[in-house]
A = this chain, B = another copy of it.
Amino acid sequence: MASTPTVTIHVCVTCRRQGDAEDAPRAGAALADAARAAAPEGVTIVPVKCLAACRRGPAAAISRPGAWSYVLGGLDAGDAVPALLAGAALYAADPDGLLPWRGRPETLKRGLICRLPPFPLPENPS
């Protein structure tokens, strides 16, 4: 029986690697493809057009319902895909809906751009 996906990773497919030529293949699109090929069950890779974090791209955001979302940049490191997936596993298991600092891959520590609280909030009726 398939389990429900628990973590969504939005990967910005418009991101360029710093210094890449304008007409070079987009590093973000390659990241999305590689992440999708490696994602285990329970992790859904969703390509998105522009997280507006261009100065720190390639970038991605990791979310699950009722949890904080984390926006991560600098994902042109060689270990970006395994780091994202290791982070997703830590995050999926966290009872407080956080991406724990302890055990978080260094690429995701260095690349942290911001985080957002769960939204809509449980107490928000709309």
Identify the A interface with B (CB < 8 A): 4-6, 8, 10, 44, 46, 48, 50-53, 59, 61, 63, 65, 69-71, 112-117, 119-121, 124-126
Copy total for this chain: 2
Given contacts A8-B121, A46-B121, A121-B46, contact A61 B126 (CB under 8 A): no
Most buried by B among A69, A71, A121: A71
A126 touching B4, Cβ below 8 Å: yes
The interface residues of chain B lying within 8 Å CB-to-CB of A10 are 116-117, 119
Q: Is B8 in contact with A51, judged by CB distance below 8 angstroms?
A: no
A116 with B116, Cβ < 8 A, contacts A4-B126, A121-B46 known: yes
A91 to chain B, nearest CB (A): 14
- Once the chains bind, are B53 and A119 in contact (CB under 8 Å)? no
B4, B52, B121: which contacts A125 (Cβ < 8 A)?
B4
- Set of chain B residues within 8 Å of A113, measured between Cβ atoms: 52-53, 113-114
Q: A52: which B residues are within 8 A, CB to CB? A: 70, 112-115
14 residue pairs of the A-B complex, CB under 8 angstroms, read A4-B126, A5-B126, A8-B120, A8-B124, A10-B116, A46-B117, A51-B114, A52-B112, A63-B119, A63-B120, A65-B126, A69-B116, A71-B116, A113-B114
